[in-house]
Amino acid sequence: MFADIIPQFGGLIWTILAFVLALSIIVAIHEYGHYIVGRWCGIKADVFSIGFGPILFSRMDRHGTRWQMAALPLGGYVKFRGDGNAASVGDDGTLEEMTPEERAQTMTGASLWRRAATVAAGPVFNFILSILLFAGMVMFLGRPTEMPTVGQTVLLPSEMIQLEPGDQILSIAGNPIETFADLNNVVRDLPSVQLLPYEVLRDGSVIEVEATPPMPARADTVQPRSAAWDIGMRPGDVILTAEGNPLYSFSDLQAVVKAADGGTVTLTAWRDGEILDFILQPRMRDVPLPDGGFERRALIGITSSLAFEPATVRSGPIEAISFGGQQVWSILGRSLSSLGYIITGKISTCNLSGPIGIAQTSAVAASHGAATFIGFIALLSAAVGMLNLFPIPVLDGGHLVFHAYEAVRGKPPSDNAVRILMMIGIALMGALMVFALFNDLTCA
């Protein structure tokens, strides 16, 4: 449905809306974490803002906090009582006029542990949002069953013979299949032929059928700004031939791209009954390896999928929360690993995306439906939480470093030192933003 709306609605507008929606949700949860934990700690908030600039909407609640929506939805902030700015640097003039009781309700006057808890709450709420979104997906949408069972088939050319919904795959070309992990392990070793022998359990009976290889050369997703995207390939395209030779599986396509060694590849694809021709120029990318590290490969920017949607089973609350936690932990590990490789020069800095790249990815995720978009928000929320914990002044991690210094020394850093470090932090974040934006505009 979304994919049909996008061309009519306008790609640029859709990209902006998807990005703003994703970012607004993540920022709102992050700032609400600061706000609610601060309130629990007795620290009063004067302003809760989503966005910056001219105020579009505002209202005052019974706690004396003004909730507002501003014109530039590219972030947000909570201004606590006594703050001189949105970075929670105290306003000396205002603080001096307060009574001791009033001062205790400010970020500057609250006890150390209350300030630290309030600061840490923003990233923590981002992680909680990610965990809950991942958990909700497997609770309400489900995840693939352990046994390889066909849920729904995907759209393929009529000459490709498919299995039927409900079929449980027992073996393929003599290879026993007990789990989806087994299926993934044998896919690359299957013979390159148009039809393969399957043994399936159908309606209580074990039968043998012939069907298309389990992972055809079909684009499940097409990454924005990739080689495939830029020549017009879209999700659902089935690649029939490469250099005039028939392709029966995604492994066949990968072999052709690898053999081209960075050279152009001529493809013929099927899209909703129409035959399309493409000339593709693969691009070199740093690909993360399962056991850590990266490998330089020629990529075209599409991901594969099975010739069917797996049957799913819904998880219970405890299992779902555990799954969500594992997903967030995995995201943090991969992100830190990638950052380390970028800093040490082991992989290209083009692996760092800026606002344009993230916006394009959000639009593509939204075009794949609500589930994919929710998964993208969960991933981005975890990344935002991690970024905010970096020990850079102006970020939450920088404030936590100040609090750690105070805990060790028994007194906070001087106001002058804080202001200088804040200026350095702003310069660092500005430089990082410019660098990421430069990547968006120059990296293929």
> Any idea which residues carry the catalytic annotation?
31
- CA 73/CA 75 separation, integer angstroms: 6
In 81-195 the beta strands, taken as DSSP E runs, fall at 143-144, 150-153, 168-172, 175-176
Which amino acid makes up residue 286? D
Q: Give residues with Cβ within 8 angstroms of 35, minimum separation 6.
A: 45, 48, 65, 78
- CA 357/CA 225 separation, integer angstroms: 8
Q: Which residue, among 331, 351, 355, has the nearest Cα to 19 in the 3D structure?
A: 355
Size of the chain, expressed as the number of residues it contains: 444
- Exposure b/e, 152-175, CB count within 10 A at least 16 = b: ebbebeeebebbeeebbbbbbeee
Q: DSSP for 208-252?
A: EEEE--SS-SB-SEE-TTSHHHHTT--TT-EEEEETTEE--SHHH
Place of tokens 């105020």: 55
Which amino acid makes up residue 353? S
Q: Which residue, among 280, 206, 208, 286, has the nearest Cα to 247 in the 3D structure?
A: 280
Q: Which residue, among 287, 258, 161, has the nearest Cα to 216 in the 3D structure?
A: 161
Other CB atoms within a 10 A radius of the CB of residue 440 amount to 19
Tell whether the torsion through CA atoms of 215, 216, 220 and 226 is positive or negative. positive
* Contact indicator for 50, 73 with CB cutoff of 8 Å: yes
- CA 218/CA 311 separation, integer angstroms: 19
